[in-house]
């Protein structure tokens, strides 16, 4: 499938896999601004779920040499997906899915209201008494975190240990899904929680401080960058790598607790295996492309090397996809991370009602109150159009439809 190429005067090209999918003018402008940065390598690759973000668009792949833009990586560092296929089938699920949702909500802290056992206080999305699964997982992270805090003491005063194994808010979710053959899957979406947010915010501020003299010359001050070879660059690469590890382990702990919660409701013995992967879609890492080692920032994009498995979720009430990468070099081996928003959260709340939400999520056991209207499916792009636009990036292996959805 052809992709559109935008030539940017004084900058690198922008290659867009967006045929048949709307792209807001503000997002195009933001892409052009990013493409004008002098350290962009080859071109920027744009996924079909692209939309306006902070500094850089969500749904873009930004390869750089000699510099990194902390705001392009963002503050939800390591946000991503995990999916596990089970040996259960649709017939094994109870007719009333309410108790199943309740068991999951009790097992995993989520949102910002005191809905579950085990956590209380001002930050309701964290553990009050973390379970053993959290203690064991934190041992994999503690030593490096202590070293990072020696250099950046303010990071010690964050939610870190008590956020491990928690969901968060916004578009983060936990789902029970059925694939095209009726097999039951567990799927979840979260990242590095409070500590990742603090790391992202801290280094965005440092980049702006380092560049204060140059900010006026930037197309957007959120494109402030850290240059390779500087202390802040090295510290950021170390901290962002740790946050991405935290995010991966966070999803693993949640999956353990999710499986245990389901076993309390469904008494039939079952096995699970992570057929799909545990994949980031907000992150930066060193990769080799077109014969050169570069830093690749995926802001709302998934790695899709040839044969690599990934997850592209739809919105609440829509389909999701387990995919296999085709290793398209022009996209820097990437694909979209979801459907992509078509409107802001405030606009969705203004435009839609609780009745709209109930209609759009009919058949899904989930919250249908005013507080989740900003996640209504109509606030997102058509996932089928998004998948059509990236046929040369991935192939669909499984199509999932959620039957239970827990939102933060």
Active site residues: 337
Nearest to 236 by CA among 206, 207, 281, 203: 203
List of residues 6+ apart from 50 with CB closer than 8 A = 16, 18, 23, 27, 31, 57, 58, 59, 60, 300, 340
Q: Could you give the CA distance from residue 234 to residue 250 in angstroms, rounded to a whole number?
A: 24
Q: Could you give the CA distance from residue 104 to residue 91 in angstroms, rounded to a whole number?
A: 20
- Burial (CB count <10 Å: 0-12, 13-18, 19+), residue 13: middle
Please provide the distance, in angstroms rounded to a whole number, between the alpha carbons at the two ends of the chain: 37
CA dihedral in degrees (20, 21, 27, 31; nearest 10)?
-50
Token output for 117: 């056992």
- Burial (CB count <10 Å: 0-12, 13-18, 19+), residue 62: buried
Q: Could you give the CA distance from residue 82 to residue 85 in angstroms, rounded to a whole number?
A: 10
């Amino acid at each position: 499938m052809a992709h559109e190429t935008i030539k940017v005067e004084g900058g690198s090209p922008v290659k867009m896999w967006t045929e048949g999918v709307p792209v807001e003018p503000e997002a195009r402008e933001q892409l052009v601004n990013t493409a004008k940065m002098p350290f962009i390598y080859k071109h920027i690759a744009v996924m079909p779920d692209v939309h306006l973000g902070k500094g850089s668009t969500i749904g873009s792949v930004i390869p750089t040499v000699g510099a990194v833009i902390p705001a392009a990586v963002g503050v939800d560092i390591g946000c991503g997906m995990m999916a596990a296929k089970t040996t259960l089938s649709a017939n094994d699920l109870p007719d009333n899915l309410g108790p199943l949702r309740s068991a999951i909500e009790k097992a995993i802290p989520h949102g910002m209201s005191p809905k579950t056992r085990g956590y209380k206080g001002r930050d309701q999305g964290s553990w009050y008494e973390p379970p053993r699964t959290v203690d064991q997982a934190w041992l994999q992270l503690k030593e490096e975190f202590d070293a990072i805090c020696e250099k950046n003491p303010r990071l010690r005063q964050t939610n870190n240990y008590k956020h491990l194994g928690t969901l968060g808010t916004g578009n983060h979710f936990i789902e029970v899904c059925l694939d095209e053959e009726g097999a039951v899957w567990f799927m979840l979406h979260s990242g590095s929680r409070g500590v990742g947010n603090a790391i992202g915010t801290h280094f965005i501020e440092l980049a702006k401080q380092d560049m204060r003299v140059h900010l006026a010359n930037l197309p957007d001050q959120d494109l402030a960058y850290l240059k390779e070879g500087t202390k802040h660059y090295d510290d950021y690469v170390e901290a962002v790598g740790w946050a991405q590890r935290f995010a991966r382990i966070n999803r693993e702990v949640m999956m353990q607790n999710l499986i245990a919660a389901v076993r309390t409701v469904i008494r039939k013995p079952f096995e699970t295996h992570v057929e799909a992967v545990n994949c980031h879609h907000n992150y930066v890492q060193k990769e080799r492309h077109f014969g050169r080692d570069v830093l690749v920032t995926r802001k709302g994009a998934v790695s899709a090397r040839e044969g690599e498995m990934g997850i592209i979720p739809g919105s609440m009430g829509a389909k999701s996809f387990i995919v296999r990468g085709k290793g398209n070099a022009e996209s820097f081996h990437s694909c979209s991370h979801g459907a992509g928003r078509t409107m802001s959260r405030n606009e969705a709340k203004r435009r839609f009602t609780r009745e709209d939400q109930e209609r759009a999520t009919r058949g899904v056991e989930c919250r249908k109150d005013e507080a989740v209207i900003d996640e209504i499916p109509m606030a997102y792009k058509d996932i089928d159009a998004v998948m059509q636009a990236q046929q040369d990036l991935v192939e669909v292996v499984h199509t999932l439809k959620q039957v239970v959805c827990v939102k933060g």
